Amino acid sequence: MHDEFYDQGIEKAKQKDYAGAIAKFNQSLQVNPGCDTTYLQRGLAYYDSGAFLQAVADYTEALKLNPQGVEAYYCRALARVALKNLPGALKDVEQAIYFHPDYAPAYSLRGVVQRKQGNIPEAIANWKKAAALYLEQKDQKNCRLILDKIKQLQPPKTAAPIIRTTGDYFIHTLDQAEKGDTRQAIADLNWVLQVDPQDAQAYCCRGVVRYKMGAYRQAIADFNQALKLNFQECIVYRNRGKARFQLGDHQGALADLNQSLKIQPEDPLGYIARAQVYREMGNYLQALQDYNQALQINPQDPQIYHNRAITYTLIEEMPKAIADYQQAASIYCEEGNWQNYQEVLDSLQKINSSTPKPKTKLNDTLRQRLLRLVGGHWEIAQRLIQQQQDHHPGMSQEWYLQKVIDDWEQR
């Protein structure tokens, strides 16, 4: 419990009567000399009155009584900045962060110290961390102040998004959407964009959430805005391509996915998305090539085997489809993904119940050769085979395949 002198000192400090506040805190310490908060408050009064050395002395006393006093470390760092003791200030603010890793003011102050020391990249990194914490705390005023500091140090036309290092915040938001709470995710991102309408990463993130919601046109608008703000990232082009695909714009989707893979050639998600577009267009050969590329990068993704199996089924390559379904089922089983595991088993059952005639190696070679000749479009090959069957009934499958190939090559 604080005594009446302490309370009177607090009141005088609020009235900016710092000399009166110090006098009352002196009386309080005579009554209760072991109170760290009284030293802290008297230090604040000294600081506000411009007596920085006395403030440092009082904060030091407070820390002797409470060695983990985050506020005392922070306040002493402020006073040492005023005294131009930057190494001492940095040491204090790092102690404050050590005891309270989510204390946004400490990161902001560390940014100030590092800026004064000439460490601009480190200053910006700390301010971005402070901004991220203020975003989480919904502290709009302080977040905007931090953003203003960052803007002052960055070039006017910088290509980097302002809160680029708040990735954890955006990951949390996307995780919300993945779990079904898309409304809250959108609300959070709308708030971020109110704080900083130039945050390209927030537009990208909102576009991803809107895509998950099925709002494809709105998602494309957000991705367009992210690109307009020069956020030229793989994720923007990949997801805009997927949204365009959902709206039936296959050529636009391919253009975006090609650009996505140009930026990040080792992105399996880009190959999977482009394969889906090719498959929908009937270009099965290109789809298979993309699934193969995705599996080279990530050979343990069951969804790739699953999708490649579907593609093999469409071109009636049943042994290969069965092998891929079995591989997908094995991985789904290991992961405990029973819904997809059952879906694969159902697909396998359908194939087995159809009891197709086994194809010879020659048959398989001819089919692959014909598929290449028609640019991967199996529907075209099927129509050509059917024409030959109509004109020459009763021949073997190999004969029809060879006849179509010969006619095509003689064109």
DSSP string, 256-290: HHHHHHHH-TT-HHHHHHHHHHHHHHTBHHHHHHH
Top-confidence range, 79-83, 190-194, 392-396: 79-83
What is the residue type of 270? G
Give domain status of residue 47, yes or no. Answer: no
Q: Which two tokens stand for residue 194?
A: 């109110």
Say if residue 302's pLDDT is above 80: yes
Considering the domain boundaries, does residue 24 fall inside one? Answer: no
356, 379, 399 — which closes off a domain? Answer: 356
Query: What mean pLDDT is predicted for residues 327-347?
Result: 85
348 lies in the same domain as 385: no
* Per-residue pLDDT at 334: 80
Whether this prediction's pTM lies above 0.85 is answered by no
pLDDT band at 173 (very low <50, low <70, confident <90, very high): low
Assigned domain for 206 exists: no
Residue 411 pLDDT level (bands cut at 50, 70, 90): low
Can you give the residue range of the structural domain that contains 381? 366-409
DSSP E strands: which ranges in 130-176? none
Q: Is residue 370 part of a domain?
A: yes
Q: How confident is the model at residue 1 (pLDDT cuts 50, 70, 90)?
A: low
Question: Which carries the bigger pLDDT value, residue 167 or residue 54?
Answer: 54
Instruction: Judge whether 2 lies within some domain.
Output: no
Q: Mean pLDDT, to the nearest integer, of 314-333?
A: 88
The answer to whether residue 345 is domain-embedded is yes
- The least confident of 49-53, 160-164, 175-179, 309-313 is 160-164
Sort 131 into a burial class: Cβ within 10 Å, 0-12 / 13-18 / 19+: buried
Spatial CB neighbours of 297, under 8 Å, sequence gap ≥ 6:
266, 267, 268, 271
Q: What percent of the chain has pLDDT over 90?
A: 50
Q: 292: helix, coil or strand?
A: helix
- Distance, in Å, from the CA atom of 308 to the CA atom of 290, rounded to the nearest integer, reads 9
Token digits for 137? 């705390």
Buried b (16+ CB within 10 A) or exposed e, 8-47: bbbebbeeebbebbbbbbeebbeeeeebbbbbbbbbbbbb
The count of C-alpha atoms lying within 13 angstroms of the C-alpha of 12, restricted to the half-sphere facing its C-beta, is: 21
Which range is least confidently modeled, 99-108, 171-180, 214-223?
171-180
pLDDT at residue 126 above 80? yes
Best CA proximity match to 129, nearest among 155, 153, 117, 147: 147
Q: What is the DSSP letter of 356?
A: P
Residue 359 · residue 388 · CB < 8 Å:
no
Specify the long-range contacts of residues 221-227, CB closer than 8 Å, at least 24 apart. Answer: 225/200, 226/200, 226/201
Give residue 364's identity as a one-letter amino acid code.
Answer: D
**In contact, 76 and 106? CB cutoff 8 Å:** no
Q: 51 near 84, Cβ under 8 Å?
A: no
Q: Do 317 and 342 fall within a single domain? A: yes
Q: From CA 347, how far away is CA 329, in angstroms rounded?
A: 11
* The pLDDT value given to residue 361: 56
Give the orientation angle of helix 200-213 with respect to helix 182-195, to 10 degrees: 160
351/320 same-domain check: yes
Identify whether the C-beta of residue 246 lies closer than 8 Å to the C-beta of residue 257. no
Give the pLDDT confidence score for residue 48 in this predicted structure. Answer: 93
How many domains does the structure of the chain reveal? Answer: 2
The answer as to whether 328 is a domain residue is yes
pLDDT band of residue 158 (cuts 50, 70, 90) is: very low
Among residues 312, 331, 356, the one where a domain terminates is 356
- At 166, the pLDDT band (50, 70, 90 cuts) reads very low
- pLDDT of 199 > 90? The answer is no
pLDDT at residue 252, rounded to an integer: 95
Quick check: is 291 in a domain? no
Length of the chain: 411
Q: Match 């390559």 to its residue by tokens.
A: 317
Instruction: Work out the mean pLDDT of the chain and round it to a whole number.
Output: 85
DSSP output for 197-223: TT-HHHHHHHHHHHHHHT-HHHHHHHH
The string of pLDDT tens digits covering residues 81-101 is 999 999 999 999 999 999 999
309 alpha-carbon distance from chain centroid: 30
